[in-house]
Amino acid sequence: MNSVWAVTVATLVKDIRLEWRSKDALNSMLFFSLLVVVIFSFSFDPTAEESREIAGGLVWVAFLFSAVVALNQTWARELRNQVLDAYRVSPAPANSLFLAKAVGNFFLVSLLEAVMAPLFIVFYNLRSLGPSWELIPVALLGTWALVVNGTFFAAISLRTRSREIMLPLLLFPISIPAVQSMVEATRIILAGDGTARFWIILLLTYDVVFTTASLALFQTVLHAE
Amino acid sequence: MANPPIPVITVNNVIKQFGRFAALRGVTAEFDAGKFHAILGENGAGKTTLLRALAGLAQPTRGEISIFGKTPQQACREIGYMAHPSLLYDEMSGVENLRYFGRLYGIVGDARCEEAIRSVGLDPTLTRAVGQYSQGMRQRMSLARAILHDPRVLLLDEPFSNVDVHSARAMVGLLKGMRDAGKTVFVITHQARLLEGAADEFVWMQSGEIVDRTSSLNREDVQ
Amino acid sequence: MKRLFPILSVITAALLAYALYEALVVAPTERTMGDVQRIFYYHVPSAWTAFLLFLVNLVASVTYLVRRNPKADALAVVCAEVGVVFCTIVLVTGPIWARPVWGIWWTWDVRLTTTLVLWLIYVSYLVLRRFSDSAQTPVLAAVLAIFGALDVPLVYFSIWFFRTQHPQPVIGGGGSLDPRMAHVLLINWLAFSCFAFLVCWSRYRLELMQREIEEAHAMESLAGTGVAAKASMPLGRSSR
């Protein structure tokens, strides 16, 4: 009996193996992330005081753009040789595929963030005036917020023309409350300007709502044809 | 299950519309189980759409399909599907591919994967990535993937295209054996000659409809 | 049914004319803002109409997912289109009002920003409909509508909280409304709603007709034997 978890894990392992074997996509994504940080650094050149105010916005917008590149890639693999049909035709639950892709994307985007964040700290001489450990839940919840909807909309975009532009087009409007929460929370923590608790709770709510919605509706999207 | 499964596949007035184009215009047919049905017709006749509808990959705009009394999605364990794209991951070996797809059907362990690969005449110990196979090998590996979970119904869309004659004949022999073992086989092909002597009936499609069903390759042209 | 449309059109035209008169002539001039304030009678009813249309879109989308009724999908796309138009009116009249009164083009206040996000979501909805395969469009669009609906409360809360931290002028102000102004507002809303209903109704009929034509076109037998003709029944043929 195949449980949801067995198939999820098998799919995740398969994706990691495939990504490892053709590191081209990963390398180009890493380089793209680096470029984004550098370009932003040239465009916004504030003093140390101002940098704490705007760093939240800069960092998260940069993450958003890198994430979109990554999200487009991970579904593209299922289109080659129409492999997605093999999954659709099998009894494997649709949500296993979604979870595997979402978790895989989460690791991938986190990796990109782990590369970009230190660079931002260096280029902007960032130092946190508030409790910097609070940035961890913000980063985790914020990344999941982008990834869960990003994975879902990337799957929808598979069925459309102009696939690559469709993803950000669908993702950005819906992500607005999440991005605002991430940016505000980061700004508050870096500037030591009170508590970021409300924004963290809002992020958590956002994550719960959209993870539930994605799990409820992914089957419908996968089998739409 | 209280009732024995209905030994028939029915297509009931199925229409599949894509905007201004109808790939299937009201197909109604009944197919006996345990038979080898060859589906023939020109490009655009609707053969692929019909097969995808049978596989549960395409939802009919109207009409129903029943496979042994269940919808295609309910009957997914009993369906094996193969198309011209290989439905395999190019960067993994044959066994690795089948191991993964086996997981989707709850098959654990390599025994059945290796058996399926051997049954199509390939070597399960081959570690070469599938992307580096010849077309014939790739089609055969794709067939192995389709039969891995021992389905009762095989839906094959142009399995012999770009395959050398030797491999193609081997595949036909394998399919004939499966029909003899009680499986229902549907094959879309442009190379009807290959199926002479193997297929139980030839289903002719044109412009989104079934226009004729014959037991041999000889038929008068239907207007 | 057919005769109701012209009758309703005349009534709506009359209502709109009356509402215009009320808004521009009868309504009292606002004390602080002057005559510019009269744009309020277009800004607010447009917003209410847009929100109502988007709500109908949501209901139609959910209905479609549950019942797969093509008419529900037709209603959904109609409401989305007309809703976006009214939403655009809100977003345009907002700055036109704000600039002379408060000296700023835009303010990230709760209502205006939520309207902007709604507009973005529904424009992306329309783009998705245009760019996807016609066989899948209704399902994908319906799913997007649900996601959009889930998002709106979150947008509202996030901006509301942001505003409590960083206060800014609110277009339209708060506080109570002069009862005469409320009266004019309601008349305008009634007129706008009737107008929206008319537009939606014609668009809906147009959409159903378009689908019927598409289906007839698709079912047309290329071989000319008419074999297909007897097998199909056209969509959406209402009893007339």
Q: What is the pLDDT of residues B35-94, one digit of tens each?
A: 999 999 998 889 999 999 999 999 998 899 999 989 999 999 999 999 989 999 999 999
Taking CA atoms, what residue in C is nearest to B60?
C135
pLDDT value, residue B219: 67
Query: CA A150, A151, A154, A159 torsion: positive or negative?
Result: negative
Closest CB to B19 among C134, C219, C222: C134
Average pLDDT of chain C, as a whole number: 84
**8 Å CB contact of A176 and C155:** yes
**8 Å CB contact of A86 and B85:** no
**C17 HSE (CA, 13 A, CB side):** 6
Average pLDDT of chain A, as a whole number: 89
- Residue B164 domain flag: yes
From chain C, the residues in CB contact with B61 under 8 A are: 135
- Residue B132 domain flag: yes
The pTM of this model reads 0.89
| Angle subtended at Cα B26 by Cα B24 and Cα B29, rounded to the nearest 5 degrees | 100
**8 Å CB contact of C221 and B18:** no
The residue whose two tokens read 């913000």 is A138
CB proximity C223 to B under 8 Å: yes
Render pLDDT for A157-187 as a digit per residue (tens, 0 to 9). Answer: 988 888 889 999 999 999 999 999 999 999 8
Q: What's the complex ipTM?
A: 0.90
- Residue B47 domain flag: yes
CB proximity C174 to B under 8 Å: no
Q: Is C9 exposed, middle or buried (0-12, 13-18, 19+ CB in 10 A)?
A: middle
- Report the C-alpha gap between A146 and C211 in whole angstroms: 37
- Report the C-alpha gap between B117 and B110 in whole angstroms: 11
pLDDT at C226 over 50: no
Q: Which of A98, A170, A225 to mutate to test the interface with C (most CBs of C within 10 A)?
A: A170
Q: Please give the full DSSP string across B62-129, using - where no structure is assigned.
A: EEEEEETTB-TTTTGGGEEEE-SS--S-TTSBHHHHHHHHHHHTT--SSHHHHHHHHHTT--TT--SB
Subunits in contact with chain C (3 or more CB pairs closer than 8 Å): A, B
From B153's Cα to the closest Cα of chain C, the distance in A is 26
Average pLDDT of chain B, as a whole number: 89
CATH number for the domain spanning B79: value is: 3.40.50.300
Subunits in contact with chain A (3 or more CB pairs closer than 8 Å): B, C
From B54's Cα to the closest Cα of chain C, the distance in A is 17
Closest CB to C222 among B61, B62, B207: B207
- Report the C-alpha gap between B104 and B87 in whole angstroms: 14
Q: What are phi and psi of A194, to 5 degrees?
A: 100, -160
- Report the C-alpha gap between B123 and C178 in whole angstroms: 86
Q: What are phi and psi of C239, to 5 degrees?
A: -75, 125
Which tokens belong to B158?
């142009």
What value does the mean pLDDT take over residues C83-92?
94
For chain C, the farthest-separated pair of C-alpha atoms sits apart, in whole angstroms, at: 76
Q: Total structural domains in chain B?
A: 1
| Angle subtended at Cα B207 by Cα B204 and Cα B213, rounded to the nearest 5 degrees | 15
- Residue B222 domain flag: no
- Residue B33 domain flag: yes
From chain A, the residues in CB contact with B79 under 8 A are: 89
Taking CA atoms, what residue in A is nearest to B106?
A2
B187 by DSSP, 3-state: which? strand
From chain C, the residues in CB contact with B204 under 8 A are: none
Quickly state the pLDDT bin for B223 (edges 50, 70, 90): very low
Rounded to whole angstroms, what are the CA distances from C69 to C62, C74, C75, C145?
Answer: 11, 9, 10, 16
**8 Å CB contact of B20 and C222:** no
**8 Å CB contact of B25 and C134:** no
What value does the mean pLDDT take over residues C95-118?
85
pLDDT value, residue C236: 40
- Report the C-alpha gap between B110 and B94 in whole angstroms: 11
- Report the C-alpha gap between B201 and B219 in whole angstroms: 12
pLDDT at C232 over 60: no
Closest CB to A89 among B55, B92, B103: B55
Render pLDDT for A62-97 as a digit per residue (tens, 0 to 9). Answer: 899 889 988 988 888 898 899 999 999 999 999 999
**8 Å CB contact of A209 and C154:** yes
Q: Please give the full DSSP string across B6-48, using - where no structure is assigned.
A: PSEEEEEEEEEEETTEEEEEEEEEEEETT-EEEEEE-TTSSHH
Cα C23 to the chain's mean position, in Å? 22
Render pLDDT for B171-210 as a digit per residue (tens, 0 to 9). Answer: 899 999 999 999 999 999 988 888 988 899 999 999 889 9
Render pLDDT for C162-215 as a digit per residue (tens, 0 to 9). Answer: 888 777 766 655 556 777 788 888 889 999 999 999 999 999 999 999 999 988
The residue whose two tokens read 């914020």 is A142
Domain that holds residue B45: 8-214
From C76's Cα to the closest Cα of chain B, the distance in A is 18
- Residue B220 domain flag: no
Quickly state the pLDDT bin for B5 (edges 50, 70, 90): low
Q: Which of A149, A176, A181 to mutate to test the interface with C (most CBs of C within 10 A)?
A: A176
**8 Å CB contact of B20 and C214:** yes
pLDDT at C158 over 80: yes
Q: What are phi and psi of B177, to 5 degrees?
A: -60, -40
pLDDT at A120 over 90: no
Taking alpha carbons only, the member of A20, A55, A31, A22 closest to residue A183 is A55
Q: Which residues contact A18 (CB under 8 A, 6 or more apart)?
A: A77, B89, B91, B92
- Residue B197 domain flag: yes
